[in-house]
Structure 1
Amino acid sequence: SLNEKPGRTEALKYYRRVADHYQLAIHQYEGVLRIEGDDLNFTVHTEKGTYAASKVILATGYYDLPNRLNVPGEDLPKVIHYYKEAHPYYNQDVLVVGAKNSACIAALELHWTGARVTLVHRGPGISNNVKYWIKPNIENRIKNGEIKAFFHSKVKEICVHELVLETLEGEVILKNDFVFAMSGYRPDFEFMALHGVHLDPATSKPITNRKTLESERKGVYLAGVIVAGTHTNEIFIENGRFHGKVIADAIAHALERAA
């Protein structure tokens, strides 16, 4: 990368090149409905067909389900839970809910693209877990008044042309075109539980063999951030990237023994 850290576009370009180089069979836009069968003889049912598999790896990340705000107006079309790009919101009044990495990145990109950005967070300030090159940037934009911020505050109601915040000083009504509810996400734990992956009741961490990352359902492995359950800050690119080799080695040994 020419930058301090590779950006989203660079990462996606790298992933595409890896997929092309290794001729990976990737089926996009095809949700998995259920997984039937046993080790060495699974049938994976999707929205488009069925596939036979000896082993199954679940690596779904933690963006399956957004944490809802549970306020009136949240189902309006102007409310967005998954931020993609800033350009459509040029010259618009936007509210970003949250103060972690996703919220801060969205707020900065929206600001740079010409949106009028307000950030609201129930906590006292920007999260200490925000990446070190992003945190001072967003804090300086707030300090300079380029991005408005309401801390110790929350959204009370969302209307078509405005919204209501509940702050320490009382209710505040803001003109608003779009709301980015970056209030966190969670994996589809129910999907895992329904498919024989047992979860720790306190942390929702899948119960796995630490050496192989195989779940208690033999032949089903887990990789990436879902291994951490609700403690999503424990797994990130720097350590989660090793899961693939761990699982590949475990599967290779298992298939050798079964041959």
Structure 2
Amino acid sequence: MQDYDVIIVGGGPIGIACGLEAKKKGLSYLIIEKGPIVNSLFHYPINMQFFSSSEKLEIDDIPFISIESKPKRNEALEYYRRIVDSNKLHIKLFEKVQDVHKKTDLFSVTTSKSTYTSSNLILATGFYDLPNKLEVLGEDLPKVSHYYKDPHFYASQKLTVIGASNSAIDAALECYRKGAEVTLVIRGSEVGKRVKYWVRPDIINRIDEGSIKVYYNATVNEIRESEIDIKTNKGIITLENDFVLALTGYKPNFEFLKKLGVQLSDDEKLLPNYNPDSMESNIKGLYLAGVICGGMETHKWFIENSRIHAPLIFDSILENISK
């Protein structure tokens, strides 16, 4: 069993930022990531372009140079990979955390490969692993996916895209341009207000000209092998359908947080309890970093505004050590 000052669960941008901070502070640390480096970003759509400019995605003042002002997925993957490699960060990849519990003043972390202990634990696990389910009949069919990767797969197919956010709108436009017959199903009365400002007019124009069909104020009622039922204010409408992309958002692993004893707000936001000055949760020595801090408000924290979590956390850890 190996003992560290800090274990960081999650090897995304903010987990990497925490690793850099630990190294600068001279603390022993370990980053544990269940997949490749920046696993969530790796699973983003192949052609995805960030809303943020490259300088806002930088960590630890390391320059991020991209071809355009707003970088694409492949550029971000290379940027964060180079940071890990050039700084020789201590990271375990493809090692899934299976259990965490606290013994007196130490956290014991059991993974798919080993067990480690540390005085402090940082959770930087994001929210991309658990999709918000539709909870309808047929959602488990192979034709349904909560993740979108490549538009080529849907060429010449009848595709229903559920959602009104950036991921849904990007997928609808890309698949339409690869020859898919795209239908959007949107719960509200319009395309989401937070959709990228250079993309929103595009989708509205495609809808207005009839290239992409849309049902507003609508939800999915049932999915079958070759059809989908849409519930609208005019009743149930049945469409021929080959594939469904249910891009309805994602959420943090609340069960994991609750198992560790992290308190959550008793409303629908499920905000975790932490001190914003130190990022320490109600469990001593357990810190939260990145988008996990937002609970169900997954639009609240991004790379650009949660980069500050790393120095806050390590200032607190060093202060506690000096006491």
Q: Same fold (TM over 0.5)?
A: yes
Q: Distance in 2 between matches of 1:4 and 1:164?
A: 41
Amino acid paired to 1:184: G
Superposition RMSD on alpha carbons, in Å? Answer: 1.8
Q: Deviations over 1:53-103 (max 9, x none)?
A: 221111111223211111111110111012222222222211110101221
> Which residue matches 1:48?
113
> Which residue matches 1:82?
147
User: Please, which of 144, 151, 173 is the counterpart of residue 238 of structure 2?
Assistant: 173
Contact 1:119–1:150 (8 Å) recurs in 2 = yes
Give the secondary structure class of the aligned counterpart of 2:82. Answer: helix
Residues 116 and 39 of structure 1: CA distance in aligned 2, closer, same or farther (over 3 Å)? farther
Residues 4 and 172 of structure 1: CA distance in aligned 2, closer, same or farther (over 3 Å)? farther
1:218 aligns with 2:245: no
> Which residue matches 2:43?
none
Q: Deviations over 1:120-154 (max 9, x none)?
A: 01210111122222222222222222221111111
Q: Distance in 1 between matches of 2:104 and 2:123?
A: 14
Contact 1:205–1:228 (8 Å) recurs in 2 = yes
Uncovered stretches (5+) of structure 2, i.e. residues with no partner: 1-65
> Which residue matches 1:164?
229
Uncovered stretches (5+) of structure 1, i.e. residues with no partner: none
Q: Deviations over 1:88-119 (max 9, x none)?
A: 22222111101012211221222233322111
Q: TM-score, normalised by structure 1?
A: 0.92
Q: Distance in 2 between matches of 1:24 and 1:91?
A: 45
How many residues of Structure 1 are paired with residues of Structure 2 in the alignment? Answer: 257
> Which residue matches 1:102?
167
Contact 1:165–1:172 (8 Å) recurs in 2 = yes
Q: TM-score, normalised by structure 2?
A: 0.75
Q: Give every structure 1 segment of 4 or more consecutive aligned residues whose post-TM-superposition deviation is greater than 6 Å.
A: none
Identity among equivalent pairs (%): 48
Q: Distance in 2 between matches of 1:28 and 1:139?
A: 41
1:131 aligns with 2:196: yes
Contact 1:122–1:151 (8 Å) recurs in 2 = yes
Q: Deviations over 1:166-192 (max 9, x none)?
A: 223333222211101111211111110
Residues 26 and 93 of structure 1: CA distance in aligned 2, closer, same or farther (over 3 Å)? farther
